Amino acid sequence: MAKKLFVEVLEARDLLPKDGTGRSSPYVVVDFDGQRRRTQTVCRNLNPVWNEVLEFDVTADAQIAGELLEADVLHDRRVRPSRRNNFLGRVRLDSRHFVRKGEEALIHFPLEKKNFFSWVRGDIGLRIYYDYVPVSPPTEEKGKTDDEAAVPPPEATPNAEKAEAVALPPPAQEQAPVDQAKLETEEPKAEADQPPEQEHGNEAEKTNEAPAEEQKLEASSTPTQPAVEEAGPKMVPQMEARHLPLPGLIERSSYDLVDKMHYLFVRIFRARTLPKNAKPHVRIAAYGIQVATRPSAFLEWGQTFAFSRDPAAVDSSNLEISVWAAAVDDGAENHWFLGGVCFDVSEVPMRDPPDSPLAPQWYRLEGGATHCGDLMLATWFGTQADESFADAWKAGALQTSCSKIYLSPKLWYLRATVIEGQTTTREFPLSLFVRATLGFQVLKTRASSSRNGSPTWNEDLFFVVAEPFSEEESIVLSLESKHGKDAAFLGSAAVPLSTVERRVDDRKVASRWLELAPSTTSSRLRYVGRLHVRLCLDGGYHVQDEPMHAISDHRPSARQLWQPTVGSLELGIIGCRGLLPMKTVDGKGLTDAFVVAKYGPKWARTRTVADSFDPAWNEQFNWTIFDPCTVLTLAVFDDASPGEAKSSGPCRPMGRIRIRISTLETNHAYRCIYPLFLLLPSGLKRMGEIEIAVRFMKSVSPLDLLHVYSQPMLPAMHHLRPLGSSQREAMRIAAARIAATHLGRTEPSLRREVVMWMLEAAEPSFSMRRVRANWLRIVAALSWFGDGIQWVSEIRTWRNPTTTVMAHGVAVILVWYPELIVPAAAVHLGMVGVWRYRLRQRVPAAGPAMRESGAEGADREELDEEFDASPSTRSDETVRARYERARVVGLRMQVMLGDAAAQAERVKALVSWRDPRATALFVVGCFMVAMLAYVVPARLMAVAAVFYGLRHPVFRGRMPSPAINFFRRLPSLADRII
């Protein structure tokens, strides 16, 4: 299979005129990896349309990630000669815009200047993607010379078979690069009379001659190989290209944040010269633990076992490996010993990556009665950094599963715009609506309005879909008529998702008419017609599956719009301490704990440590960071089915912590212990504590990292065509359900309750505790405002005469020199920040805020109400009492909102003449203030106002001021509200 890069040059818009008559004749030259292709010329058009596909060879995967693609828009002088420069614009793109076939979308890139003095405008629409195409063997061409005919064909040489087996792409074209100046100035007379399209075809024929000659030269110079390789099978990996890992998703960890745990690894490969039809299995015993492989009739196992190293018994333990065969006699299964090998554990070699894996050896089986054979195995000491650790079966009772990395599906928003309907029948119901169904997501439009006798809706319906799209996955649009509470089905149409167009901006896609299949049921209503819809996959949005306060990714669905990475995050999950028992087995409390961490689309799950209240994992994971203002989520769960024991019970959460990446210092490793709390209907419960290590490594310059803070968090489509808050929340729940279903199909699966609890995808419920906590948060956040008012009040009351006199002096200076107000305020805030630097947090805050959440003093009744399902399952008396309490809280909020509305209406009443005397008095006062301000200097008025406000309490009365009394007497709508 050969990798190809395809560039679809579709159109350009609003180009500069170059031919002297207000128009241009543009063509596009695309350059990639030394290969140059050009389109045809569109004559005399400032908005040309090419619709051409240019193909480039990719020599290796590394090149597509490092090469730049350059597209130059030029004016063809041969159509109409011009003395002006023929450069119309340039676009230079990196590998972020190269996606796999099927993910491409039309993107309009603004044209850039060649230099500072260039003058360009407009943009160009491109689709860029890569694909893998089969390599066809070269065929014999006519007109070969005798020397070329004597050269054996490529498929006849052994080296060519080897090249075909690894699916190397054909050699890149070695066409000499065309000099741009020569391309612009040289115009042979023979080519001047030739149209541009024909000239482009001749150039393509010339470029195709060089690779053919190079293939002949390579085939003639290939050395011969031994005959042993010729007999080998020819294998072409046809499906490797479809499942290549995405760059930057999985990185190798150095395990420098966690403690090293030493394991004794034993890998059993195969055996030979054993009895036939024995189906033997291998038993391994070390440190008092015995495990066994699966039976194999082909004498091949390929299994790896890891024994936790016992430091106290390293010098005295033996590693015993034995082979046993099974036979059935009189219905009973018996095992007999075929032979074994014994090793001294102290002589097992130590391996530490990046050392290469230990080569396996054949060992003679000893101790067998009549049979002897050989066993191929390898054994070594390593750590959890060993690449065999992830797939190894952890022997013993403490490690019963493997750590895994999971990837969430790629999610898109499907926008279905229902425009109108068209019918051939004269009579149809006026109350029509369209029901759209996609899996478990069902949406419907409002009742139609009539326009020229046809139903009209013009309504957008949003769905969440996950790639890849199967051929059977379709969105079904059905037209229904409303009759009271019932709906009558009239017709439907299905559109496969694989045929829906993708877009990355707010451009309009082409609409389509769908023929409605009429209902097969006997009904008086029969609608025969079509449905006008517009369908598109919006790749410019970020499909949110996490709550907004804990979001870990802001990137849009379209990969072409992704920003470059800013760094990487390394997380080391060390262990937990003091966990509580979560289940009871045979009268004994047990906990089988594992940790799940999520950031972006990547999920990390540690192995399950069974029957331990102080589990130790010491596993390290890496994530790529695109935005530092995101959150990493970790949670501890109790496994309901550790190891081979399957259980129908759910995995129960034990606590959750969140770490905001922006709170971490760059290149600084933190090792912290956080408590685990869980809010239950019985109250807040401490489940234990977790120890982790975390480090944020930046990969860009400090200025580029700071530049991220000036960029919008969400993609541009969220601001150009925003979605409603209720609509976003409904789609978030749908996205979480899709992710849970996808991750539940993995092996081992990440269970649904784990995913839903991590994403907080439960239906929102009323909580009195949260209402009180949010109010206290507002009060705490505005405490500085109250402190400022109290400080000013102390100055006005002359509690500290020295401070009040200094305030008079500062006020006079700022009034007389107003240019010092802004610098003084800025210096004050800066000094506050410098002063509080010593009070900064030394470790990142990740644990839950118990006091701020109001969880410590929550009432039992309020917690029961918070965890109650909807609709409520409690008794009528309990629901009535809760309703009365909710009415009291609602009454307080009603009074507070009424007071705020009354104050706003009094401000409006100043000039609305609702109270003629009050408005007249306000108008006369405004004119008097204007005259006074014109006569008296502004500085003198400001100083007088400050001195009047800071006058001594002896000269201040206890009654409210006339201005406050006047404002309180203004009318509002409070006396007219029913």
How many other CB atoms are found less than 10 A from the CB of residue 481? 20
Which residues of 213-331 form beta strands (DSSP E)?
263-272, 281-286, 289-292, 300-308, 318-329
Interval 425-454: pLDDT, tens: 655 566 788 999 999 999 999 988 766 668
486-496 sheet: strands from edge to edge: 441-444, 432-438, 474-483, 486-496, 517-518
Interval 240-263: pLDDT, tens: 333 333 333 334 446 788 888 888
State the pLDDT at residue 208.
40
Which residues of 316-402 form beta strands (DSSP E)?
318-329, 332-344, 361-364, 374-382, 393-394
User: Which range among 315-319, 681-685, 775-779 shows the weakest confidence by mean pLDDT?
Assistant: 315-319
Q: What share of the chain has pLDDT > 70, as a percent?
A: 81
Residue 85 banded pLDDT, cuts 50, 70, 90:
low
Q: 935: buried, middle or exposed (CB in 10 Å: 19+, 13-18, 0-12)?
A: exposed
| CA–CA gap between residue 129 and residue 464 (Å, rounded) | 24
| CA–CA gap between residue 864 and residue 884 (Å, rounded) | 16
Is position 674 within any domain?
yes
| CA–CA gap between residue 191 and residue 440 (Å, rounded) | 63
Contact by Cβ (8 Å): 606, 593: no
Contact by Cβ (8 Å): 668, 661: no
Alpha helices in 236-322 (DSSP H): none
Q: What is the crossing angle of helices 916-935 and 938-949, to 10°? A: 120
Contact by Cβ (8 Å): 376, 270: yes
State the pLDDT at residue 310.
67
Total number of residues shown for the chain: 978
Q: Do 300 and 358 belong together in one domain?
A: yes
Interval 803-827: pLDDT, tens: 888 888 888 888 888 888 888 888 8
Is position 767 within any domain?
no
**pTM metric for this prediction:** 0.76
Residue 617's closest CA among 600, 641, 599, 634? 634
How many other CB atoms are found less than 10 A from the CB of residue 889? 13
Looking up residue 100, the CATH number of its domain turns out to be 2.60.40.150
Q: Do 633 and 515 belong together in one domain?
A: no
Q: Do 705 and 597 belong together in one domain?
A: yes
Residue 226 confidence (pLDDT) above 50:
no
Is position 193 within any domain?
no
Q: Do 572 and 657 belong together in one domain?
A: yes
Q: Do 511 and 452 belong together in one domain?
A: yes
| CA–CA gap between residue 266 and residue 379 (Å, rounded) | 4
Average pLDDT over residues 313-338: 73
State the pLDDT at residue 947.
86
**Which range of residues forms the domain containing residue 687?**
564-710
Contact by Cβ (8 Å): 379, 256: no
Alpha-carbon Rg for the chain, nearest whole angstrom, is 38
Host H or E run for residue 598:
strand 593-599
Cis, bond preceding 354 (omega within 30 deg of 0): yes
For residue 960 the two structure tokens come to: 């409210």
Is position 142 within any domain?
no
How many other CB atoms are found less than 10 A from the CB of residue 451? 10
Q: Do 583 and 464 belong together in one domain?
A: no
State the pLDDT at residue 520.
61
State the pLDDT at residue 168.
31
Residue 83 banded pLDDT, cuts 50, 70, 90:
low
Q: Do 795 and 943 belong together in one domain?
A: yes
Average pLDDT over residues 358-368: 87
Contact by Cβ (8 Å): 266, 284: yes
Residue 319's closest CA among 338, 299, 293, 291? 291
Sign of CA dihedral 859, 862, 868, 872: positive
Among 344, 375, 397, the domain boundary falls at 397
Contact by Cβ (8 Å): 755, 740: yes
Is position 312 within any domain?
yes
CA distances from 940 to 15, 517, 806, 932 (A): 61, 83, 19, 11
| CA–CA gap between residue 758 and residue 766 (Å, rounded) | 20
DSSP for residue 581: P
How many other CB atoms are found less than 10 A from the CB of residue 619? 26
497-514: b or e for each residue (b if 16 or more CB lie within 10 Å)?
beebebbbbeeebeeeeb
Residue 726 confidence (pLDDT) above 80:
yes
Q: Do 809 and 932 belong together in one domain?
A: yes
Q: Do 816 and 945 belong together in one domain?
A: yes
For residue 930 the two structure tokens come to: 């204007």
Residue 815, classed as helix, strand or coil, is helix
Is position 808 within any domain?
yes
| CA–CA gap between residue 478 and residue 483 (Å, rounded) | 16
Domain count, the chain: 5
Among 683, 710, 737, the domain boundary falls at 710
State the pLDDT at residue 421.
87
SS3 content of the chain, % helix, strand, coil (to 5): 30, 30, 40
For residue 973 the two structure tokens come to: 């709508």
The mean pLDDT of the chain is: 80
User: Which range among 214-223, 391-400, 819-828, 866-875 shows the weakest confidence by mean pLDDT?
Assistant: 214-223
The separation between the first and the last C-alpha atoms of the chain, rounded to the nearest angstrom, is 77
CA distances from 43 to 46, 182, 492 (A): 9, 22, 46
| CA–CA gap between residue 868 and residue 855 (Å, rounded) | 17
State the pLDDT at residue 551.
92
Listing DSSP states for 462-515 in one string gives: EEEEESSPPTT-EEEEEEEEEETTEEEEEEEEEEEGGGSEEESSSPPPPPEEEE
Q: Which residues face 107 on adjacent strands?
A: 126
Q: Who's near 727: CB < 8 A, 6+ residues apart?
A: 462
Q: Do 380 and 446 belong together in one domain?
A: no
For residue 57 the two structure tokens come to: 């060879």
Average pLDDT over residues 141-161: 38
State the pLDDT at residue 622.
93
**Dihedral over alpha carbons 803, 806, 808, 813 (to 10 degrees):** -150
| CA–CA gap between residue 137 and residue 219 (Å, rounded) | 12
Q: 17: buried, middle or exposed (CB in 10 Å: 19+, 13-18, 0-12)?
A: middle
For residue 262 the two structure tokens come to: 């030493």
Residue 351's closest CA among 263, 252, 255, 267? 263
Is position 757 within any domain?
no
User: Which range among 241-255, 280-294, 400-414, 540-554 shows the weakest confidence by mean pLDDT?
Assistant: 241-255
Q: Do 389 and 425 belong together in one domain?
A: no
Q: Which residues face 685 on adjacent strands?
A: 678
Residue 776's closest CA among 856, 846, 686, 840? 856
Residue 131 φ/ψ region, left for φ over 0, alpha for ψ in the -120 to 50 degree band, beta for the rest: beta
Residue 557's closest CA among 717, 710, 727? 717
**Dihedral over alpha carbons 422, 424, 427, 433 (to 10 degrees):** -30
Residue 951, classed as helix, strand or coil, is coil
SS3 assignment for 203-260: HHHHHCHHHHHHHHHHHHCCCCCCHHHHCCCCCCCCCHHHHCCCCCCCCCCCCCCCCC
User: Which range among 324-328, 401-405, 413-417 shows the weakest confidence by mean pLDDT?
Assistant: 324-328
Residue 78 confidence (pLDDT) above 60:
yes
DSSP for residue 890: H
369-395: b or e for each residue (b if 16 or more CB lie within 10 Å)?
eebebbbbbbbbbbbbbbebbeebbbb
Average pLDDT over residues 514-535: 75
Among 133, 153, 182, the domain boundary falls at 133
Q: Who's near 152: CB < 8 A, 6+ residues apart?
A: 219
Is position 650 within any domain?
yes
Backbone phi and psi for residue 355, each to the nearest 5 degrees, phi listed first: -60, 145
State the pLDDT at residue 90.
92
Q: Do 591 and 524 belong together in one domain?
A: no
State the pLDDT at residue 512.
93
Q: 669: buried, middle or exposed (CB in 10 Å: 19+, 13-18, 0-12)?
A: middle
